[in-house]
Amino acid sequence: MPDSPAAAAEPCRILVAGASGAGKTTLARRIADATGLPYQEIDALYHGPDWTPRPSFVDEVDAFTAQPGWVTEWQYEPVRDRLAERAQLLVFLDYSRARVMRQVIARTVRRRLRREELWNGNIEPPFHTIFSDPEHIVRWAWRTHGTRAALVADAAAANPGLEVVRLRHPRATEEWLSRTFPAPFQTGA
């Protein structure tokens, strides 16, 4: 960010919240690109081999958020409160369940068909596991979709200095991006 008085007031510790599949990672990367702030995909810190939580997760989140500026997604109960305490801005992608489910299903199918490696050697499990694994990402997204607003409200109440921007549709997100970070987004980047 530029070293000007106006830039000093801009948030430099930014979280992106929303249901699984809402687009948190995509938006966080776009904000980081627009601001030049360091970005860390929090899933990469959390998931170890075979989808096991990494023992170093909390320490790595602490180290990343000790920096003066950063962007990451807001998730995972062991660090959710500390992230909200350290952040200046929380952008909440509060999209409809129908939109989120379309997005998470499309993403899951694409990743599985392409056998995309996600974090630490993990790939999406076979499709049939949606019926047998209660923690399958599609089931998780469905089950937790309605809980995100209360978590965001609790974080805002506990952290009066935390600015919350609630965006209910991708068009609203694009409008907010173009107003908040105009230079990179005016060209449609």
Is the distance from CB of 94 to CB of 168 less than 8 angstroms? yes
The pLDDT value given to residue 7: 41
Residue 189 pLDDT > 90: no
Task: Classify residue 3: in a domain, yes or no.
Answer: no
The pLDDT value given to residue 52: 94
Mean pLDDT of 159-184: 92
Task: Classify residue 8: in a domain, yes or no.
Answer: no
Identify the CATH number of the domain in which residue 55 sits: 3.40.50.300
The pLDDT value given to residue 35: 93
The pLDDT value given to residue 4: 32
The pLDDT value given to residue 183: 66
Task: Classify residue 1: in a domain, yes or no.
Answer: no
Task: Classify residue 7: in a domain, yes or no.
Answer: no
The pLDDT value given to residue 185: 44
Q: Is pLDDT larger for residue 106 or for residue 183?
A: 106
What is the residue-averaged pLDDT of the chain? 91
Task: Classify residue 96: in a domain, yes or no.
Answer: yes
**pLDDT tens digits, 100-145:** 999 999 999 999 999 999 998 999 999 999 999 998 999 999 999 9
The pLDDT value given to residue 181: 87
Total tally of structural domains belonging to the chain: 1
Structural domain range at position 110: 13-186
